[in-house]
Chain A
Amino acid sequence: MAMQEQDIEIQVWDYIDNECSSEDNARISKLITTDKIWLTKYQELLSVHHSLQTELKTEQVSSGFAATTMSKLSPKASTPQKLKPFFTWSIRAVVAFFIISISGFTIYSLSITDWTLTSYITPETSQTITDKLPSNYLVFGILIFGLLCADLLFKRNVSKL
C-alpha cells in the first residue's frame, strides 16, 4: 500500500514538474480528474509545491558585498582582447601563411598541368617528381609540426591567463 502511494507520488511530482512524457501527462491528468486518490495526492503535493515556490527566500548578504567583491577583482584578469594581441596576430599570420601557400600551390599546379587528352592518359611525371620533392615534403612536414607545437604552446599560455 505504501509502495503504491509512493509510486503515485513519484508520478504526480513528475506531472507537476513537467518531467513526464506527453502520454504520461495525459494519463496522469485523466487519473487526477477521475480517481479521488490521485486527486487528493495531487492537491496535497501541489500545495507543498506552491509553498516552496512562494515562501522560499534567499539569505541576504551584508551591504557593500558587491563593492568589496569588485575591489577584489584583479585588473589583470580582464578581456581577451587586451591580453592576447600577440596570439591573435600570430594566429592571423598562420592562417594567412596557409591561405597564400595553398593558393600559390594550386595556381602553380594548374599552370603546369597539360590538359590535353594524351598527357592525361600517360602523365609525364619526370618533370614534377624530381629529387628535390621528398626533401621539400620533409621541410613542409617539419613546418607543420612546428606550427602544431606553437599552437599547443599558445593554447597552454592562454589557459594560464
Chain B
Amino acid sequence: MHEQQDEDIIDLVLRGDRNAYAVLIERYQHFVFTLATNIIQNREDAEEVAQDVFVKAYNSLQQYNKNSKFSTWLYAICRNTCLSHLRKNKIETTPETPHASHDNVTKTVEQRSEKQILQEAIKQLKEEDATVIQLFYLHEQTIEEISHILELSESNVKVRLFRARKKLKNIFHNKYQNELTR
C-alpha cells in the first residue's frame, strides 16, 4: 500500500483531523527517540523529551514550512528541545553506561556482531559527531538539511562527518586486524 505523504497528513491535521497526527508519531517516534537518546544519554528522559517534541511540533504545525522536509523540521525541534532540557536540568551529558575505551572495544570486538560493534563505536564519538552520523545515515538527511538542523555551516557538517567516519573506520580496521591475527 502506498504510504501517505507527510504533507498530506499535515494537511489533514490542520483541517481538524487530530488523530491523523498519530501516523506521524508512529512514523518518526524511533528516529526522534534515537536522536534524543544520543543527546541526553538517558533513555527515560529521552522518551519524555521525545514526547514533548511531538507535542511542540503539533502545537506549531501551522508554522511548518513545506519547502523543507517534515523530518528536517522535526529533528530541529528535537535538538532544540533536548538542549533546553539539558540546560533546564543542568545535566552534564553523562552516559547511562560509561563509554568503553577504544582498547576495550577492540579487545572484545570479535565476540560481537557488527551492529553491536557499530553501536559501541558510535558511543565513543563526541555527541555532536554521533548526531551528524545518525542524521546522515539513519535519518537520511542531506548535508544541507543537517546544517539546518544543527545550525552549522555545511562545511562544518562535512568536517564533523569526516571526523566521525574516520574514527569509525579506525575501529573497524582494528576489528579486522584482530580477526586476522587470531
Contact call B33/A58, Cβ cutoff below 8 A = yes
Chain A nearest CB from B178 CB (Å) reads: 16
Chain B hits for A13, CB < 8 A? 161-162, 165
What CA separation (Å) do A53 and B139 show in the bound complex? 10
- Shortest B167–chain A CB gap in Å is 10
Judging by beta carbons under 8 Å apart, are A69 and B118 in contact?
A: no
Which residues of chain B have C-beta atoms less than 8 A from A48's C-beta?
165, 168-169, 172
Asked whether A62 is an interface residue with its Cβ less than 8 Å from the other chain, the reply is: yes
Contacts A55-B118, A69-B55 given: A9-B162 contact, CB under 8 Å? yes
Contact status A59-B33, CB under 8 Å: yes
Interface of B is mostly: helix
- Chain B residues near A81 (CB, 8 Å)? 14-16
Q: Does B59 have its Cβ within 8 Å of any Cβ on chain A?
A: yes
A132 at the interface (CB under 8 A from B): no
Query: Which of chain B's residues have a CB closer than 8 A to the CB of A19?
Result: 143, 158
> Which of the residues A49, A58, A74 comes within 8 Å of B31, measured between beta carbons?
A58
Q: How far is the CB of B93 from chain A (nearest CB, A)?
A: 16
In chain A, what residue has the closest Cβ to B144?
A19
Contact with B along A47-70 (1 / 0, CB 8 A): 111011101111111100110111
CB of B152 closer than 8 Å to a CB of A: no
The A-contacting residues of B in range 22-78, CB under 8 angstroms, are 22, 25-26, 29-31, 33-34, 37, 43, 46-47, 50-51, 54-55, 58-59, 62
Q: How far is the CB of B50 from chain A (nearest CB, A)?
A: 7
Chain B residues whose C-beta falls within 8 Å of the C-beta of A17 in the assembled complex: 143
Q: Say whether, besides A51-B114, A70-B22, A59 and B34 are in contact (CB < 8 Å).
A: yes
* Chain B proximity of A14: nearest CB distance (Å): 8
Q: Is A78 an interface residue (CB 8 A)?
A: yes
Interface assignment of A77: CB less than 8 Å from any CB of chain B: yes
B interface, CB within 8 angstroms of A? 13-16, 18-19, 21-22, 25-26, 29-31, 33-34, 37, 43, 46-47, 50-51, 54-55, 58-59, 62, 114-115, 118-119, 122, 133-134, 137-138, 143, 158, 161-162, 165-166, 168-169, 172
